[in-house]
Structure 1
């Protein structure tokens, strides 16, 4: 049972902090603005940085589920708004899953704490999460060294049941504002954030391993 709980904890913690990493970066207006300057989005869209900033504010509010289609429709056409509605739904499911996996993680860690299984908790956090580092680094290298568009397309085919995400860069503002390079950078930032969270958890794990050893010596 302990082994099963350890595996569940590794999975639930990993998914919880992956989703936190996604949210932190998807809601980070600063990254959007920096990318607008970097990729010369003002020229691409014909809109100045102040207007782009206002549109970005509305996008972030919408992704958080705090706004309806009306906050996007002044800027985007019907197809773009319908796609963003799908994205908003995806983020809503992501938030629900984050809370579920977070609660599962807290319950299991609380159980280990109640049973005074400090060493087991420590090993789960430090050694168990190490595999995630390896997998994540491999994925980041894959993104850097291969065709990002291929995996971006696969992602959309998995998570969206329609082709509304296929936008026209000549006419659709959404893809003009958020080109492929934007999402490559976003993926890298999410991966880096996730690595940092995993590293912190591993440090906590090492602490609990030492705590468990000290108890055993007593």
Structure 2
């Protein structure tokens, strides 16, 4: 029974670290505004949108600020009109990002509480092991995501929307929501790749930290045996 509880705790910690890492990577990537600046040049969005790069960036920044700030109640672009359906879709996207922020903060507080409790009660705080559980969970997740995206990103993109949205408002009509012309699927692909890259860097960091701490533990143990 004890071994089962230990295994379940490891699985829980691994999942929580994985969700935390995905959340942090998503939040960081959302603020990588240079990706959109690069996309403007790569996909010739100035010509597509018929406005300057500066104005495209201003409207994109307006969108990013709206998605992250709970105090901004209404989205209004400078250069693009928007339908009620389009506005509602962006509102639903905003809710998803705010949930990501909330979940990330809750998991952070959870681990801080566990860490402080262990510290006060004199229990060992094996953070490196917890991070390793998360790294193992993330490896499984990333392999699956990369496999799906590499096969057919467009299909994965559609499936993602069908999972997270219970309507078809995400299918924009360029006549009523011309913003979609300057937010092509390729832009989202770049952001997805950035998130995957960040998560991969976290995995590497977790693994390096784990093996360094494990090696030190073994080294100290062998040293004590000699004494």
| TM-score (ref. length: structure 1) | 0.86
- Provide the residue aligned with 1:192 in structure 2: 197
Matches within 5 A, 1:50-61: 50-61=54-65
Unaligned stretches of 5+ residues in structure 1: none
Contact 1:12 1:104 in 2 (8 A): no
- Provide the residue aligned with 2:22 in structure 1: 18
Query: CA offsets, 1:122-151, max 9 Å, x none?
Result: 44433662352244134224312x221211
Unaligned stretches of 5+ residues in structure 2: none
- Provide the residue aligned with 1:176 in structure 2: 181
1:115 aligns with 2:106: no
**Counterparts of 1:41 and 1:97 in 2: how far apart (Å)?**
34
Matches within 5 A, 1:141-160: 141-144=147-150, 146-160=151-165
Alpha-carbon RMSD: 2.4
Contact 1:5 1:108 in 2 (8 A): no
Q: 2:42 aligns with which of 33, 38, 41?
A: 38
Contact 1:122 1:204 in 2 (8 A): yes
| TM-score (ref. length: structure 2) | 0.83
Contact 1:167 1:175 in 2 (8 A): yes
Quick check: which has more Rg, 1 or 2?
2
